[in-house]
Amino acid sequence: MTLEAAAIRLLVRNWRGRYTVPAGGLYPHQWSWDSAFIAIGWRHLSARRAQQELESLFSAQWSDGRLPQIVFDPSRDDDYSPGAAFWRSAELPGSPPVPTAGLVQPPNHAWAALLVHRADPRESRRRGFLERAYPALVAWHTYLRDRRTDASGLAHVVHPWESGMDNSPFWDEPLSAVPEAGLDRVPRPDLEHAAATDRPSDTEYRKYLHLAAAYRDAGVADDGSEQFRVHDPAVNALWARSELALGEIAGELGERADHDERAQRIADALERLWHPGLGCYVARDARTGRLQEHRTVSGLVPLILSGVPRAPELLETLRGPSFRLGTSVLVPSADVQAPTFDTSRYWRGPSWFNTAWLMVEALERHGAEHEARSLARDVITHAEASGFAEYLHPFTAAARGTRAFSWTAALALDLHH
């Protein structure tokens, strides 16, 4: 079977009528930033499905503008933890009519909406896609600006899950002061679908559950009581990239708005996260002001912005001994030379397909066409060879995590087109 046929088969299998699950077993609900990446793949097959994927998420938007990390399928509530019964979102102020998590994920949605529109502008106009998407996306970005941004101009995440890179070494220090949820047994349905050595540890899960419960019990109010508040480079770079996309969407609709200025302000604020000694951006604990001194793929993501002042140093770091572009498999999620490096455990070393896709975009943007093409070819080859794995051993390309993972198929398909 060709890459295209296999990827289509997977996406069709993971489609649930209005959205695509990231993986049928491990992740049986709709996830926020997954849907944006998945829509980028669907647009080549069905512009309509790509639009519906994003619209399904918009229909779960909270009244304060937040787009939730997860929109739950109540019929599968025992299959993932923490689920709808944990969040009880109906009891929380401003929640939508469908059950969702109270947390968010990285804001890649406006960028995806623009790409989806461009794939088939006629169908997009016929369905009034941008007219409906634009206000939802503006409300989402307004939430980030009003409820998540401090004087630094950067948006913070209140939980590692919100970064999408859940057990990154960036969170080790901020999590060190967080207590563990006092549970006899940590519910781990995830371990029925992926090896324990590929997933976060029970200790990490106890902290994740403590933080999520505390945020829920404070009414997801963003009132400053959060025990974890961190500025992440990828989250903010994606926000800036999406703000630029919103500017283009506004242009399509004939609206006048200051999205480009907002994007520039976020890009300027990102400079606070620059670590000259490491040659990349790093996370910053917003509560203590401390920079988290680790090289991770998140710190390279600002390369998706054309005007990023640190492009030469970032490209050097991407090519250098920490990430070894061209020699390692795709782009490792964290510095392969660091003491925290782990070839299997999730975001502490394995290579992921969404970040490789972002690096293809980054390399193209900065004139490294040859490397961009070569990385794109590797994404396609490894996606197919690994059975569309969630992530890969960064040296051997052995499949890690779950298989038949939707964004792996969607993004390989996108690079194939």
Please give the helix or strand (H or E) that residue 5 lies within, else none: helix 3-14
| Inter-CA distances, 360 with 23, 244, 307, 342, 375, Å | 24, 19, 17, 24, 6
Give the rounded distance of the alpha carbon of 350 from its chain centre: 16
| Inter-CA distances, 319 with 194, 303, 338, Å | 31, 13, 16
Strand partners, 230: 157, 285
Per CB under 6 A, the list member of 166, 173, 255, 313 interacting with ligand 9WN is 166
Query: Does residue 22 belong to the site contacting ligand 9WN (CB under 6 A)?
Result: yes
Residue with token string 């242009």 = 251
CB 283 within 8 A of CB 148: no
Residue 251 CB, nearest approach to ligand 9WN (Å): 30
390 is catalytic: yes
Give the span between the Cα atoms of 146 and 108, in whole angstroms: 18
Piece of 30-38, 232-240, 318-326, 360-368 that binds ligand 9WN (CB under 6 A): 30-38
Residue 61 or 69 with smaller CB distance to ligand 9WN: 69
Catalytic residue among 222, 335, 390, 414: 390
Find the DSSP H helices in 223-368: 233-252, 259-270, 311-319, 353-365
Residue 191 CB, nearest approach to ligand 9WN (Å): 11
Residue 190 CB, nearest approach to ligand 9WN (Å): 6
Residue 46 or 406 with smaller CB distance to ligand 9WN: 406
Residue 15 or 27 with smaller CB distance to ligand 9WN: 27
Could you tell me how many residues of this chain bind ligand 9WN (CB under 6 A)?
10
Residue 153 or 332 with smaller CB distance to ligand 9WN: 332
Piece of 25-33, 228-236, 267-275, 300-308 that binds ligand 9WN (CB under 6 A): 25-33
Residue 346 CB, nearest approach to ligand 9WN (Å): 7
Catalytic residue among 64, 166, 180, 313: 166
In sequence order, what are the residues at sequence separation of 6 or more whose Cβ sits closer than 8 angstroms to the Cβ of residue 265? 153
Give the span between the Cα atoms of 171 and 190, in whole angstroms: 21
Q: For the purposes of burial, counting CB atoms within 10 Å of the CB of 5, is it exposed (0-12), middle (13-18) or buried (19 or more)?
A: exposed
Residues 167-226 that bind ligand 9WN (CB under 6 A): 190
The string of DSSP codes covering 141-206 is HHHHHHHHB-TTS-BEESSHHHHT-TT-GGGHHHHHTSPPP--SS---GGGGTS-GGGS--HHHHH
Residue 138 or 331 with smaller CB distance to ligand 9WN: 331
Residues 31-90 that bind ligand 9WN (CB under 6 A): 31, 33-34, 69
- For residue 82, say if its preceding peptide bond is cis, omega within 30 degrees of 0: yes
Residues 91-130 that bind ligand 9WN (CB under 6 A): none
Residues 133-162 that bind ligand 9WN (CB under 6 A): 161
166 is catalytic: yes
For ligand 9WN, the nearest residue by Cβ is: 22
State the catalytic residues. 166, 390
Interface residues with ligand 9WN (CB under 6 A)?
22, 27, 31, 33-34, 69, 161, 164, 166, 190
